[in-house]
Amino acid sequence: MLLLGDEALAQGAIDAGMSGMYAYPGTPSTEIMEYVQRSKTAAEKNIHRKWSANEKTAAESALGMSYAGKRSMCAMKHVGLNVAADCFMNSSITGANGGTIVTVADDPSMHSSQNEQDSRNYGKFALVPTFEPSNQQECYDMAFHAFEMSEKYQVPILMRLTTRLSHSRSGVLPKQTMDQNGLKLPEDKRQFVLLPAIARKRYKMLLANQEKFEQESETSPFNSYYEGSDKTTGIIACGIAYNYLMENYVGSECPYPVLKISQYPLPRKHIEKITSECDTVLVLEEGSPMVEEMLKGYLGNCLKVRGRLDGSLPRDGELNPNLVLQAVTGKSPSVLSVPQIVAARPPKFCNGCGHIDAYNALIEVMKEYGEGHVLADIGCYTLAALPPFQAINSCVDMGASITMAKGAADAGMFPAIAVIGDSTFTHSGMTGLLDAVIENTNMVVMILDNSTTGMTGGQDSHAVDRLVSICEGLGVHKDHITRVVPLKKNHDEMVKLISQEINYKGLSVIIPTRECMQTLKRKTKANK
C-alpha cells in the first residue's frame, strides 16, 4: 500500500480494531480523518468517522469511547492540542479503559500554521507515553503498539507526527487485522471522576507508572542503538530526523554511535550508554530542543551536548538532510542559487470567491474610519491580510476575532469589527458571541459563510444552515442578524448594510453567504 504518513496511521488504527475516530480539520493532520472517511473497511466495520466541532469535543468524545471500553483516536494539528489540552491533561489522570490515541501533527517551519510548538512537550507535561514515528511503516505499526500499551497501562498515548511525514507517501506492509473491542465499562466506576480525593490517587498511579513507561521505551522496537567505532560523537536522532541523518550514509556506514528515538519517555539505559561512551552528544530533533535541554541541564556544565541550542543546528524551523549533514560533518554542498527574477507567489483567494466581494464592501466602508479596526480569524479569509486587500489586523487563534473585537470595543475602539468563517465560528466563536450578547457590545460580527471548512480542503462544516438560528439562540436581536449574498452586483447593498450596523449602538451579526468555489466545482463535477 502506498500511503501518506497520515493515511498509514489511519489504516493502522483501522486494522488494530479502532471503533471511533474524532477530529477537527487542521493541516497537516486533516488526511487522517479523510482517509478513515474514504475507507471501505471503516464503513463496513461501522467505525465512527464524523468531524467534530473542535479539537476539544473530538478529544472528549474519543475519551468517552475509551470509557466505554472501545479503541478510539482523536487527531488534530499542534495548535489544536491547545484547544483540547484541558481534556488531554486530565485524561492522563483519569487514564483510559479502551485503548486511546491522541494524534497531533506538528508543523515546524509553520508551512500552514500560527506557531511551531512541539507537541512532545505536551507528552512530557502530561507524563504520558509519546510515539514519534520516523517513517510511514512505523506510523502503521505504532497504531497497534499504542493501542496495546494504552490498554496495558490504562493510559492515553500521544502520537506525534510532523508535516514532512504526515504529507509524504511511501510503501507500507499491512499486518493481520484485529477485531474491535466489545462494550465494557471501566471496572472502577470512579476511575473517571476527578474529584480531588480520587484525582490525587490516580495521579500517584500515573507517577508510579513512569518507571514502567521508561522500561517500555528501553525495550521498544522503535528505539534502537547502533554501535559506531568513532566515539568522539554520539548522535541521538528523534523521529524523522533519523531519516535525515541516514540519508547521508546511503551505501556506507555511519561511523558514530546512533541512538534512534521514536518512543518516549526517553529510554534511560540507552541514554546512559551513549552519554557515557561518547565525548560529545549531538541531538537531532524536529521542533524544540526538548531532548537537548533535558540532557544539558540548566547549567550545562556536565555533558557536552550539541544541537539547536549551541548553534550546531538552527534554533527554529524544520530540519532537512543538509542541515543535519552540516551539523554532523561540517560539510555543505555548493548549490545553484535562485535567479533574482523569480518573484514570490503567495497564496490568494480563488477566482470568484465570495470572500473577495465581502471584503471589497468592508474595505469601502472602513475608508471612513481608517485602518486598524478589523479583528479577524483563522481560515481562507485570513488571506485578506495580504495585498491587495490588507483589510484585517489580527489572526491569533480559532475564535479570537469575536472576543478580541469585544475587548477592543470595551476599551473604546469604534467601530469594532470581527471577521470569522462559518466553521471557525462553530469551532470556537459561539461562546465569545455569547459574551458580547450579555453586554450588548457595540460591535459588528461578520461571519463569512462559505458553507465549508475551506483552507483545509473543503470538509463538512457544522455551521451549514444553522448560523442564523445559532445567533438567535445565543440572544443576538433578530433585527440585527442579516444574511447577504456576497456578489459584485450586491456591493452597494452590502456597503449600506455594514455602515448601518456599525452605526447601530449594539451587537450586530452580518452573514455573507455563498458556497466555496472549490467545493462548488467538486460538486458540479461529481454531478456530471
Point out which residues bind another protein (CB under 8 A): 2, 27-28, 30-31, 111-112, 164-165, 167-171, 240, 243-244, 246-247, 250-251, 320-322, 325, 332-339, 341-350, 380, 383, 455-457
Residue closer to another protein by CB (options 426, 456) is 456
Residue closer to another protein by CB (options 109, 440) is 109
CA gap 197, 236 in Å, rounded:
41
Residue closer to another protein by CB (options 295, 380) is 380
Residue closer to another protein by CB (options 499, 518) is 518
Query: E strands within 239-355?
Result: 258-261, 263-264, 280-284, 304-306
Q: Which long-range contacts (CB under 8 A, 24 or more apart) does 469-472 make?
A: 470/425, 470/426, 470/430, 471/433, 471/509, 471/511
* Helix runs in 338-442, H state only: 354-366, 400-410, 422-424, 430-439
Would you say 74 and 23 are in contact if contact means Cβ atoms under 8 Å apart? yes
Smallest gap from Cβ 206 to another protein, in A, equals: 35
Cα-flanking dihedrals φ and ψ of residue 281, to 5°? Answer: -115, 130
Residue closer to another protein by CB (options 11, 92) is 11
Smallest gap from Cβ 258 to another protein, in A, equals: 13
Residue closer to another protein by CB (options 457, 506) is 457
Smallest gap from Cβ 502 to another protein, in A, equals: 29
Smallest gap from Cβ 508 to another protein, in A, equals: 29
CA gap 101, 70 in Å, rounded:
12
Would you say 74 and 48 are in contact if contact means Cβ atoms under 8 Å apart? no
Per-residue DSSP letters for 445-498? EEEEB-SSBTTTT-B--TTTTTHHHHHHHHT--GGGEEEE---GGGHHHHHHHH
- Of 61, 67, 143, 144, give the one whose Cα is nearest residue 98: 67
Residue closer to another protein by CB (options 121, 322) is 322
Residue closer to another protein by CB (options 121, 168) is 168
Residue closer to another protein by CB (options 68, 284) is 284
Smallest gap from Cβ 3 to another protein, in A, equals: 11
Residue closer to another protein by CB (options 229, 334) is 334
Smallest gap from Cβ 111 to another protein, in A, equals: 6
Order of strands across the sheet that contains 443-448: 374-375, 417-421, 443-448, 507-512, 481-484
Residue closer to another protein by CB (options 27, 428) is 27
Smallest gap from Cβ 321 to another protein, in A, equals: 4
What are the b/e assignments for 305-332, b being 16+ CB within 10 Å?
bbbbeeebbeeeebbeeebbbbbbeeee
Smallest gap from Cβ 12 to another protein, in A, equals: 18
Smallest gap from Cβ 307 to another protein, in A, equals: 19
Smallest gap from Cβ 477 to another protein, in A, equals: 36
CA separation (Å) from 325 to 245, 262, 295?
A: 7, 21, 22
Side chain identity at residue 71, one-letter code: R
DSSP bridge pairs for 260: 224, 237
Residues 6 or more apart whose Cβ sits within 8 Å of residue 103: 9, 29, 32, 73, 74, 75, 76, 159, 161
What are the b/e assignments for 421-451, b being 16+ CB within 10 Å?
bbbbbbbbbbebbeebbeeebbbbbbbbbbb
Smallest gap from Cβ 333 to another protein, in A, equals: 4
Element (H, E) at 21: strand 18-23
Smallest gap from Cβ 323 to another protein, in A, equals: 10
Would you say 512 and 484 are in contact if contact means Cβ atoms under 8 Å apart? yes
Residue closer to another protein by CB (options 130, 456) is 456
